[in-house]
Amino acid sequence: MKKIIDLLNAEVKDAFEKAGYDKEYGSVTISNRPDLCQYQCNGALAAAKKFKKAPIMIANDVVALLEKSRTFGEITAIMPGFINIKVSDAFLASYVNEMNQDERFGCEKTENPKKVIIDYGGANVAKPLHVGHLRSAIIGESIKRIGKFMGNDVIGDVHLGDWGLQMGLIITEFRKRNPDLVYFDDAYTGKYPEEPPFTISELEEIYPFANAYSKEHPEYKEEAMKATNLLQNGHRGYMALWNHILNVSITDLKKNYDNLNVSFELWKKESDAQPYIPDMVEYLKENGYAHISEGALVVDVKEETDTKEVPPCMILKSDGSSLYNTTDLATMVERRKLFNPDAIIYVVDKRQELYFTQVFRCAKKTKILEEDTQLTFLGFGTMNGKDGKPFKTRDGGVMRLENLIKEINEAVYEKVMSNREISEEEARNIAKAVGLAAIKYGDLSNQASKDYVFDLDRFTSFEGNTGPYILYTIVRIKSILGKYQNEIGQLPQGAKMKTAFNDSERDLMLELVKFNEVMYNAYQENAPHKICQYVYEISNAFSKFYHETKIISEENKEQQDSWITLISLTAGILNQCMDLLGLEAPDRM
């Protein structure tokens, strides 16, 4: 289906041309004064200078050609030359009925589908997920779902950190505590145990201890660096331990990501890129892209138009060791070989913008990627506490993500239990769904690049622009549909929606018909917050309609079926939008 705004544009542009003016002046937009009209065209104001004619005269000429159109219920020229538009109820109902016949609610897939990789995990093995990982996970998951919905082949990659000094620190500390294990016996040639010699809890305690200890004891850090080097050069015992670390960590990470309703098609790691590094470095040298600067191998990425300093992209340090830059570039080489993507999107903290500017420029300059491969840095802001500083625990530490989820679920559980008498099991299930909506919607409703304040009371509220409010709207519609089935019979099949009975019904229809355009804009701009705003506006429109309309008690069966069909469509669109945000409504709240 064409967007409703495109249908209006086509008709108004045609009228401008028939009236003797250039058709591009007939651009229609949603009205910024909904109290006056639904749509507007301000083209007559721009056309006045070219055609040396008063704007109101141009507007009157156009309106005269459109007044008898079945598309418009009311179209008027207003001083000094605005064209105010209200679509006809018949046109609106026809469009909504056509949406209802389409399983995608009229949203067309992109004309040019792409293969896209989204890098949006960034977790490190042997470390628990904390609130700093929240935004990357849920923003990336939503963008991936939107991209798939629009017809692209989208691959989400968690891209785990598993190959740096942290591994050496863990191995060094574990050896210090358990020196007699076979992993540290260089003479051992047998098969290593299949069971890991530690739990996830022990693993998560070891790393922060070792990291802190290394900062106070240079000789310990030196030992850890040697262990890292041995691991990266294939030491049997260390490789076996590393595999245990991966297995234990990934099992725990998957559980925590599942709790966020976040999943990845790829569980790739930094270590997966290592085999590509030697050939890549040789390629950069042979083709004259890289040169030695102060002992390090670098690629210059500064451009003449830069207004601030952009340092060279370092490929190897003076001691020959690699860096994050090296791994990220090698990962691009790997992704090109395995997937040949049209685009790669990185969902990362916005404070890393300069780093990604260097890496992207290096990849393009050195032709590591195809010339037309699109690279996007989607930098997100920080989640702050009410003090405006990055969110912390009460004692000032970084909060584990699972603890944040528990805290929110408990807050929602108490609200659920205080409002109705239900079993504890059902209340816990409701709290889990609503708590997740509180977290994810509270985050996604903000523009990704902006910092925002995490407010537990506001996010868990069942009123206002919150996840629980949206879920409550869906649950309310489910309740009405359930009541209809219990008291009246099967939901009407193939019923048509009639023209709007009152203003609130018309306003609800006007929100629903924006679906196609909202999806397109959210996709083009990588902007889940646009979907959040849309579902909030639908929910408000439905709430007003619900309070003004007695659906179940309506005696006119045709009218009742029309309303049931309308709210079924409303629920379908809300559910589709919430799925794109990574959320799902319970059956009751």
pLDDT digits (tens, 9 = 90+) for 421-479: 788 899 999 999 999 999 999 999 999 999 999 998 999 999 999 999 999 999 999 99
Distance CA 217, CA 224 (A): 11
Residue carrying structure tokens 């020229």 = 77
User: What per-residue confidence (pLDDT) applies to 396?
Assistant: 65
Same domain, 250 and 281: no
In a domain, 550, yes or no: no
In a domain, 455, yes or no: no
User: What per-residue confidence (pLDDT) applies to 502?
Assistant: 95
Same domain, 281 and 251: no
Same domain, 246 and 289: no
Same domain, 302 and 221: no
In a domain, 428, yes or no: no
The last residue of a domain, from among 225, 242, 259: 259
Same domain, 172 and 255: yes
Same domain, 332 and 253: no
295: left (phi over 0), alpha (psi -120 to 50) or beta: left
- pLDDT surpassing 80 at residue 500: yes
Q: Quick one: which H or E segment has residue 170?
A: helix 165-177
Average model confidence (pLDDT) across the chain: 95
- pLDDT surpassing 70 at residue 259: yes
- pLDDT surpassing 90 at residue 149: yes
Distance CA 156, CA 401 (A): 20
| CATH number of domain containing 359 | 3.40.50.620
Strands 39-41 and 29-30: antiparallel
Number of C-beta neighbours around residue 250 at 10 A: 17
| CATH number of domain containing 10 | 3.30.1360.70
Distance CA 260, CA 458 (A): 20
The last residue of a domain, from among 87, 121, 142: 87
In a domain, 228, yes or no: yes
In a domain, 286, yes or no: yes
Distance CA 261, CA 154 (A): 17
Instruction: Give 348's strand partners.
Output: 379
Same domain, 254 and 282: no
Mapped onto helix, strand or coil, the DSSP state of residue 160 is: strand
pLDDT digits (tens, 9 = 90+) for 11-37: 999 999 999 999 999 999 999 999 999
Integer Rg of the chain from CA: 29
CA neighbor of 431 nearest in space, from 391, 392, 471, 458: 471
CA distances from 384 to 76, 390, 408, 451 (A): 48, 4, 16, 7
Q: Give the mean model confidence (pLDDT) for residues 481-509.
A: 95
Distance CA 443, CA 33 (A): 29
Same domain, 231 and 272: no
Distance CA 99, CA 565 (A): 12
pLDDT digits (tens, 9 = 90+) for 226-258: 999 999 889 999 999 999 999 999 999 999 999
User: What per-residue confidence (pLDDT) applies to 419?
Assistant: 73
For residue 26, give every residue at least 6 positions away whose Cβ sits within 8 Å of its Cβ, in sequence order, or none: 9, 12, 13, 14, 15, 16, 17, 41, 43, 62
Distance CA 259, CA 72 (A): 48
Q: Are 131 and 401 in contact (CB under 8 A)?
A: yes
Same domain, 25 and 50: yes
User: What per-residue confidence (pLDDT) applies to 128?
Assistant: 85
E strands present in 317-391: 343-349, 374-380, 383-384
- pLDDT surpassing 70 at residue 302: yes
pLDDT digits (tens, 9 = 90+) for 100-135: 999 999 999 999 999 999 999 889 998 888 888 999
Distance CA 304, CA 511 (A): 47
User: What per-residue confidence (pLDDT) applies to 388?
Assistant: 86
How many domains does one find in the chain? 3
In a domain, 308, yes or no: yes
State pTM to two decimals: 0.94
Same domain, 80 and 182: no
CA neighbor of 193 nearest in space, from 244, 231, 267: 244
User: What per-residue confidence (pLDDT) applies to 368?
Assistant: 96
Same domain, 248 and 279: no
Instruction: Give 299's strand partners.
Output: 313
Q: Are 468 and 460 in contact (CB under 8 A)?
A: yes
Distance CA 165, CA 224 (A): 7
Report residue 190 as tokens: 């047998």
At 395, is the pLDDT very low, low, confident or very high (cuts 50, 70, 90)? low
The last residue of a domain, from among 347, 364, 380: 380
In a domain, 135, yes or no: no
Angle between helices 528-548 and 557-580 (to 10 degrees): 160
% of the chain at pLDDT higher than 70? 99
Same domain, 202 and 169: yes
User: What per-residue confidence (pLDDT) applies to 40?
Assistant: 98
- pLDDT surpassing 80 at residue 397: no
User: What per-residue confidence (pLDDT) applies to 105?
Assistant: 98
- pLDDT surpassing 90 at residue 193: yes
- pLDDT surpassing 90 at residue 335: yes
Q: Which domain holds residue 359?
A: 268-380
In a domain, 79, yes or no: yes
Residue carrying structure tokens 């790691």 = 269
